[in-house]
Structure 1
Amino acid sequence: MESQPSSKVLHHRINTDISQLLQRFENIMATATVENPSYTSSAVETYQLDVESTALIRAAEDILALTRTMKETWLFGNLNTLGEDERDVQRREKLEKDAVAVQKAVEGGGLSKLAPGK
């Protein structure tokens, strides 16, 4: 499996796909509202509508592919959606080390030496 995308890459892709979808829809609406009785302009507008609708479908397919990628990343990868920075990583690692030290102390009977009356 290829490397998993980061949350920043996914956010950028989301924004790009949404803007493409909206732009294509706006282009279709702008073309559809033009009233011109000539056959030539009608043919050009029909072609333009065909091109824009194909691009709109492609943009929707891109969004569907993105949602699949996000699901795969959440299920099988380490998608960092919370935006954990270096300080958070160090804090989490320290907490994990402290938890291991407490576990070893409990298993080794080190805590019973601190509270001998119990």
Structure 2
Amino acid sequence: MESQPTAKALHNRINTDISQLLQRFENIMATATVENPSYTATAVETYQLDVESTALIRAAEDILALTRTMKETWLFGKLDTLGEDDRDIQRREKLEKDVLAVQNAIEEGGLLKVSPEK
């Protein structure tokens, strides 16, 4: 079974895929703006546009595959993108103490005193 990707690996893949997509688009735009009346140059540019457009489509497919991987990873709970810093840990511990205090007060009957019905 394939191991789950880490958040850092996914970020690296996002950056790589985006840079590939942008590079291919820039290459297409650069090739399309060249004006050369020669048939040979036109044929070469046509071939280059074909290659770059195919690579652009491949880069877009890679991004789609990445989004699918990210969805699967999030759905199955193996990706920790949020993490906990010291502030989150302290807040969680304080919340747990408060919950225990309320629970103890309820169990001892000190928090809720039920008045008898008349």
The TM-score, its normalising length taken from structure 2, stands at 0.71
The CA deviation at 1:97 is 4.5
Percent identical across equivalent pairs?
A: 63
Question: How well do the aligned residues superpose, as a CA RMSD in angstroms?
Answer: 2.9
How many pairs are equivalent? 112
Output one character per residue of 1:2-40: Cα deviation in whole Å (capped at 9) or x when no partner. Answer: 22421x433332232122112111111111121212232
Match of 2:116 in 1: none
Is 2:89 the counterpart of 1:90?
yes
Match of 1:10 in 2: 10
Match of 1:43 in 2: 43
Gaps of 5+ in 2: 114-118
- The whole-number CA distance in structure 2 between the counterparts of 1:100 and 1:116 is 13
1:22-41 pair list within 5 angstroms? 22-41=22-41
The TM-score, its normalising length taken from structure 1, stands at 0.71
Whether the 8 Å CA contact 1:4–1:77 is kept in 2: the answer is no
- Of Structure 1 and Structure 2, the greater helix share is in 1
Q: Which amino acid letter does the alignment assign opposite residue 90 of structure 1? A: I
Output one character per residue of 1:43-95: Cα deviation in whole Å (capped at 9) or x when no partner. Answer: 221221122111101100011011101111221124334x4343145336525
- The whole-number CA distance in structure 1 between the counterparts of 2:85 and 2:15 is 26
- The whole-number CA distance in structure 2 between the counterparts of 1:91 and 1:104 is 20
- The whole-number CA distance in structure 2 between the counterparts of 1:74 and 1:116 is 40
- The whole-number CA distance in structure 2 between the counterparts of 1:95 and 1:74 is 28
Whether the 8 Å CA contact 2:20–2:59 is kept in 1: the answer is yes
Q: Which amino acid letter does the alignment assign opposite residue 85 of structure 2? A: E
Gaps of 5+ in 1: none
The CA deviation at 1:100 is 6.6
